[in-house]
Amino acid sequence: MRLQVLNPVAQKAEKKKGARSAPRLPTLEGKRIGLYWNLKPGGDAALRRTGELLAARYAGVETKIYMGSVGSSNRFATREDVQRISREVSAVIGATAD
Amino acid sequence: MAELEKVGIPTVSLVARDFVKDWQHSAPVFGVKGLARVVMPRPLVGMHADDVYPLADAAFEELVTMLTESAVTQEVADDETVQAGVIAIEADGEYAALRRMNRMFLDQGWGDGFPLWAPTPEQVDEMLSGTRRARDEVVTVLAPGKGQATVEKIAINAVMAGCQPEHLPLLLAAVEAMSDPQFMMRMCAMSTGAHAPMMIVNGPIAKRLGINSGRCALGPGAPSAVNTVLGRAIRLIMMNVGHTYPGTMDMDTLGSPNKYSMCLAENEEASPWEPYHVEKGFERNANVVTMCHTYAITEVEDGTGTTPEAVLNVACSTASNLGVYSVGWWLMGRTADPEADASALEKQFLIVCPVHAEVFRKYGWSKQDVRDYLYKHARVPFAHLMANKEAECFNASHPHLRWLWGSPDTLMPVLETADCFELVVAGGLGGARSTYSYGVCEPVSRLIEQ
């Protein structure tokens, strides 16, 4: 016999495939890199160490920590947060600790 | 990260191996084809910094490559979920067909593990007879997967759960409640914690539908059969409409039997107070569904206490369980979705059994009396509350309270305000066993279509 059933899965609201990733940087020298931590324990240590490694390898590189006020595991970043970060840094490294 | 990529900022993230699938599926949901990541061998939570540093060292070269090489190559393949509206299953006989359907649905991840009812077009049509709303009406876009929650999709999952047409209006209202920004669906559905949705029903509809408010209201068994299928439908809707699938968006560490189904009606006759929905501003005769998250429930047993204080002292001890994420979480700041202009307190439910309700009635205690007592006495030293919480988060959220680091023995309330203790009455007569539900964020109530 043939049993016909309806698909229970909802269509996604966004039909378009999504934006392409941003272009990569030609170099990290002289750049300001954001280190984004969502306040989950462990992520800060990874970012701290990464910041040290960047400073040791690349001349003129700076890092800026973002946490809490621009989003965390229990608070999403706003459009204004994103715009401000994009004005302040050239790239972002993130760690959620999971 | 997705939002930053969209405005032209290249990103790369450190992602634990077990979260890569979730990462991959989340990227298109949040509007980008793919996101650069470096896979870490394990999550960093619970690791000492000295153990994290070598992992960061090992990830560094690949991380630099991800920021400087040409286009991200880790783009996600298109979701190949079966898109067909109608699925045909061939088998020798009805039972075989049903088994094959169940096997197929499980293989796709569309079931909860229990046998499913077949959502045939006829069954779904019958389910839809329970509402006046059009089948193609979009009730909401359900987080976290942003699935279009049409009346039809909700009805399909209701059939699968074993619901009847008269249950559909309640489910529609429940889905609306879950899409309220205050409910914080995205955060709770995607968490590594065992967030389970709990449904509380008030009004005449409870008796009319046979939703149990008394003994074994939370199951199992025949007396709570309606409760069971209603709660089950919510889980299936979260999965198939909100796309909260285990391992893909639902990153719960262990899971919980609570996530299969949690539904009860308030035992309004046994309550010494106005019903929950009346307290929230609804008419007494209104039919209302309240949705809330719960991490876990536990017993508040006190068969010897004969005063409100005695009963509530036990409840205070229960409320002070540091193992539960939301206890003292207010010190980390409120959960917030700034885009929706929403922030949520952490609220928890004391489900008062009829025996304990009688104690409050005898002594004339109001709900506010109960709340005030819990707020005043469910307290833990600051240092203990912070033992499993991130100090930087506290410092950022409550800079005016930093003096507490110098006074670590200061007793702090486990919840932010007295009103964070919600009260409903439910359960059978006889056991002196109330129930404490460790909630997350805030409950949301909605009127049910008449």
CB under 8 Å to B275, separation ≥6 — which residues? B202, B266, B268, B284
pLDDT tens-digit map of B406-427: 999 999 999 999 999 999 999 9
B339 touches chain A (CB under 8 A): yes
**Whole-angstrom distance, CA of residue B373 vs CA of residue B371:** 5
Give whole-number Cα distances, B76 to B32, B81, B109, B136, B232, in Å: 9, 14, 19, 30, 31
pLDDT for the residue numbered B390: 87
Least reliable range by pLDDT among B70-74, B304-308, B402-406: B70-74
Q: Does residue B75 register a pLDDT over 80? A: no
pLDDT tens-digit map of B220-242: 999 999 999 999 999 999 999 99
Give me the amino acid identity at B317: S
Q: What is the mean pLDDT of residues B154-181?
A: 98
Q: What is the mean pLDDT of residues B184-194?
A: 90
pLDDT for the residue numbered B53: 95
Q: What is the residue extent of each domain of chain A? A: 32-95
State the pLDDT confidence band at B25, using cuts at 50, 70 and 90. Answer: confident
Beta strand pairing call for A2-6 and B86-90? antiparallel
Mean pLDDT of chain B: 93
Residue (of B313, B275, B321) closest to B295 by Cα position = B321
Q: Tokens 């793919």 map to which residue?
A: B34
Q: Does residue B345 register a pLDDT over 60? A: yes
Work out how many CB contacts closer than 8 A connect A with B. Answer: 290
Q: What is the mean pLDDT of residues B93-104?
A: 96
Give whole-number Cα distances, A81 to B91, B302, B339, in Å: 56, 50, 11
**Whole-angstrom distance, CA of residue B108 vs CA of residue B82:** 9
For the entire predicted model, the pTM comes to 0.92
**Whole-angstrom distance, CA of residue B423 vs CA of residue B441:** 15
Q: CB distance B87–A4 less than 8 Å?
A: yes
* A27: closest chain B residue by CA: B68
Q: Does residue B263 register a pLDDT over 80? A: yes
Q: How many C-beta atoms surround the C-beta of residue B97 within 10 A?
A: 20
**Whole-angstrom distance, CA of residue A90 vs CA of residue A60:** 13
CB under 8 Å to A51, separation ≥6 — which residues? A33, A35, A63, A65
**Whole-angstrom distance, CA of residue B318 vs CA of residue B384:** 15
**Whole-angstrom distance, CA of residue A70 vs CA of residue A24:** 23
Contact B141, B179 (CB under 8 A): yes
State percent of chain B over pLDDT 70.
97
**Whole-angstrom distance, CA of residue B17 vs CA of residue B21:** 8
Q: What is the mean pLDDT of residues B280-284?
A: 97
pLDDT for the residue numbered A40: 83
The interface predicted TM-score of the complex, written ipTM, equals: 0.92
Q: Does residue B327 register a pLDDT over 90? A: yes
Q: What is the mean pLDDT of residues B142-157?
A: 96
**Whole-angstrom distance, CA of residue B42 vs CA of residue A37:** 17
Residue (of B249, B228, B222, B242) closest to B163 by Cα position = B228
pLDDT for the residue numbered B76: 54
pLDDT for the residue numbered B396: 83
A15 touches chain B (CB under 8 A): no
**Whole-angstrom distance, CA of residue B245 vs CA of residue B110:** 8
Cβ contacts of B249 on chain A, cutoff 8 Å: none
Q: How far is B96 from chain A (nearest CA, A)?
A: 9
State the pLDDT confidence band at B306, using cuts at 50, 70 and 90. Answer: very high
